[in-house]
A and B are shown apart, each in its own frame.
Chain A
C-alpha cells in the first residue's frame, strides 16, 4: 500500500530532551516536507526537501533540523524541544513539489 509513515503517533516529552520524529514513504517520491498545525494558524511548513541531500527552510524552521540521506526517509529532529513546539506535525511527500501531496497520519507532540 502506498503510504507515508510517521512515528511516533503521540509523544510527550520534557523541555530540552532531544527527539526525532521519523517519516518514511514507499512511493519513490522525490519531494518531502514537514508541517506543523496549530489551532487558528493552519498548516505551516517547517522544512522541505526536493531530493536526496537537498533541504530548504520553510516558514517556521527555528528549533528544527532535518536530513535527507535516503530518498524514502526524512526525519525531523528537535535538538532542544520547548513548550512552544507542542503541536500536531505532518510529514508529506509527492512525486514533484507542485503535485498533490500524500500526508502521514500525524504526530501529536507535547513538550512539558
Chain B
C-alpha cells in the first residue's frame, strides 16, 4: 500500500459547487497532516494544517479520521481561482510524505 493515496482527478465542477477530496494514509503513527495547493508549474503552498478536531478557514474545511486513516478537504462555493492541484501531506517515518495530488478545475 502506498504511503499516501489520492484520487488524481480531474474533478471538473461548476462555479459555486461544493467539492470534497479524500486522502488515505498507511502509517497509523502519523501525527502531522496538511493540505497544500499547487498551481501549474509553481511551488506548492501550504493551504491548511489538519487537526484532530477538524478545522475551517473560510470556504475550506479539513477533517481527520484516524480510525479509518484518511483526511478530507471540503471546498464550498468554488471559485475559478480554486482551480489547482491539491496535495495531501502526512508525516511518516521520514520527513513529510506528499501525495501525488488531486486536480481541480472550476468551470464558469
Mark A residues whose CB is within 8 Å of B.
31, 33, 35, 40-43, 45, 48, 56, 58, 88, 90, 97-106, 108
Binding site of B, secondary structure by majority: helix, strand, loop or mixed?
loop
Contacts A43-B87, A106-B41 given; indicate if A101 touches B94 (C-beta within 8 A).
Answer: no
Binding site of A, secondary structure by majority: helix, strand, loop or mixed?
strand
18 A-B pairs with CB atoms under 8 Å apart are A31-B95, A33-B95, A43-B44, A45-B95, A58-B95, A90-B43, A98-B31, A98-B95, A99-B32, A100-B34, A100-B46, A101-B46, A103-B44, A105-B43, A106-B41, A106-B42, A106-B43, A108-B41
Nearest CB in chain B: distance from A64 CB, A: 16
Count of chain B residues with Cβ under 8 Å from any Cβ of A? 19
* A90 and B41 alpha carbons, distance in the complex (Å): 11
**Structural contact, B91 and A98, CB atoms closer than 8 A:** yes
